[in-house]
Amino acid sequence: MATQAADFQTLSRRYTADKPFRAFIQKALGGYYKKRDENKANFQDWQGARDLAAETKYEAVNHLDKYLLEFEQKITARGAKVFWAPNAEAAREYILKIAKENGVRSIIKSKTMTSEEIHLNEALEKEGFGVFESDLGEYIVQLRKEAPFHLVFPAMHLTRRQISDLFQKELGSKATDEPEELTMIARDVMRRKYCEADMGISGTNFAVAETGMISITENEGNARLTTSLPRIHVALLGIEKVLPRLEDLSLFLPMLATAGAGQTMTCYNTMYSGPRQPGEPDGPEQMHIVLLDNRRTELLADAEQRDALGCIRCGACLNVCPIFKNVGGYSYGTTYGGPIGSVITPHLRGLKDWKHLSAASSLCGACTEACPVKIDLHHHLLQNRRNGAKASPAVGEKVAFGGFSLMMGHPALYRLAVVFGRIFQPLQGLVNGTILDPLRAWTGSRNFPKLAPKSFHEQWKKERGGRK
């Protein structure tokens, strides 16, 4: 078994067994459901908005080259540099090169899952650059040397007590049970970092082709500071994030806020087109856009699942997923967790090692229903299962079902099997579910149905014996 699949099993077992943890996660999400529903209800027609969002993304993704070129041309005209990175390594090297060429000493970052994807922090730190995550949740997990637990709520798995202990240990602050005080501790630390940093690294939520802009959505204001104060701004941008028109944001910004966190609008939605322009009082001297492919084009080539590139990383599918809610974010072992992660990771990192994630679904379709851009998530999970089975057929299963159909098609064989079953079932019962059990793959988590002492056939014969 691939190690990723084994890790998934171990971790998901552990998290699922941890009832207080599960209750904590469910409680944290409880407030979200309520707010999300309230905000959805304010829409005149949420379903109509989803249709339009899906259509807009369809148009953008299916003309990706055109819109990326338009975006590049417009934002370059404003003095930004666009670097096309075919893979993670190219992106990391480019960013390192800029940092070195400009004598950068301190780097501040705002939340970007794309940088997690390319393991940027490790690369920068290895070269001796200090990197500080400024988003509160990201900062907390950075201090714990952990990855984000959730696309949108990176530290939702931690209690205030754990965070207080962490701050005491790492920052020497006083113990407190108040989320507000904890937030202020981080605020004070970060204030100094913003003022000192000479490079700011951000993600991007949307790029606008028409006007050559990137748009960043956030609640805390850390991304605004990251993109205003340092003299260099580097924005990571997955190639799939481009939208055709500025007005498209009128739809996507409220939808992202509603689906993502149950807000009318996220606190700051900021559009940047270029570095500081002549006559402007502040802003970076340089702006670099790192356009990242990193196998997104593999997903693009799969017409059946291409719509998954429309993902706006709102996290709604995670929040409603019965698997995510129970196994949590870390079981997945991927940058992108939950249903969308299970769909795209096989494309981004290989089907062989990641197909098991598509099996971890009840196929209830809650994700598809929640998705603001109508990605057909649960069908994609099924398609991944199909593709996985095609690529590496499960021989044991094939043989088992072949045998089963042979037996069911031949009464004599069936009767023979029943006789054997009666003999072996009591023996199997002695080792049920243990390593000695040959049926362990099934009985490890389920019971094998008991054979009836007398089959229907036998009873029929006995009761109605002579009569025809």
Residues 298-337 that bind ligand SF4 (CB under 6 A): 311-317
Sign of CA dihedral 459, 464, 466, 468: negative
Binding part of the chain for ligand SF4, among 33-41, 205-213, 217-225, 368-376 by CB under 6 A, reads: 368-376
- Does residue 378 interact with another protein by CB under 8 A? no
Q: What x-and-dash track marks residues 231-270 binding ligand SF4 by CB under 6 A? A: ----------------------------x-----------
- Does residue 251 interact with another protein by CB under 8 A? yes
Tell me how far apart the alpha carbons of residues 440 and 445 are, in angstroms, rounded to a whole number: 8
Q: What x-and-dash track marks residues 70-89 binding ligand SF4 by CB under 6 A? A: --------------------
Q: Which of 125, 100, 105, 101 is nearest to 115 (CA)?
A: 125
8 A C-beta contact, residue 324 and residue 339: yes
Nearer of residues 200 and 315 to ligand SF4, judged by Cβ = 315
Nearer of residues 152 and 360 to another protein, judged by Cβ = 152
Q: How many CB atoms lie within 10 A of CB 163?
A: 23
Tell me how far apart the alpha carbons of residues 443 and 64 are, in angstroms, rounded to a whole number: 49
- Does residue 176 interact with another protein by CB under 8 A? no
Question: Residue 225 binds which one of ligand SF4, another protein, none, with CB within 5 to 8 A depending on kind?
Answer: another protein
In this chain, which of 221, 350, 365, 433 binds another protein, going by CB under 8 A? Answer: 221
DSSP strand pairing (286-292 vs 232-238): parallel
CB 69, min distance to ligand SF4, A: 25
List all residues 6 or more positions away from 431 whose beta carbon is below 8 Å from its beta carbon.
437
8 A C-beta contact, residue 225 and residue 207: no
Binding part of the chain for another protein, among 55-63, 380-388, 410-418, 451-459 by CB under 8 A, reads: 55-63
List of long-range contacts for 411-420, beta carbons under 8 Å, 24+ apart? 418/451, 418/455
* Alpha helices for 172-236 (secondary structure H): 179-196, 222-226
Nearer of residues 301 and 359 to another protein, judged by Cβ = 301
* Alpha helices for 262-308 (secondary structure H): 296-301
Element (H or E) spanning 272, and its range?
A: strand 268-272
In this chain, which of 99, 340, 366, 381 binds ligand SF4, going by CB under 6 A? Answer: 340
Tell me how far apart the alpha carbons of residues 193 and 191 are, in angstroms, rounded to a whole number: 5
- Does residue 219 interact with another protein by CB under 8 A? yes
Region 273-302 residues binding ligand SF4, contact defined as CB under 6 A = none
Region 19-78 residues binding ligand SF4, contact defined as CB under 6 A = none
Query: How many residues are given for the chain?
Result: 468
Nearer of residues 291 and 370 to ligand SF4, judged by Cβ = 370
Using CB under 6 A, list all residues that contact ligand SF4: 259, 311-317, 340, 370-373, 375, 377
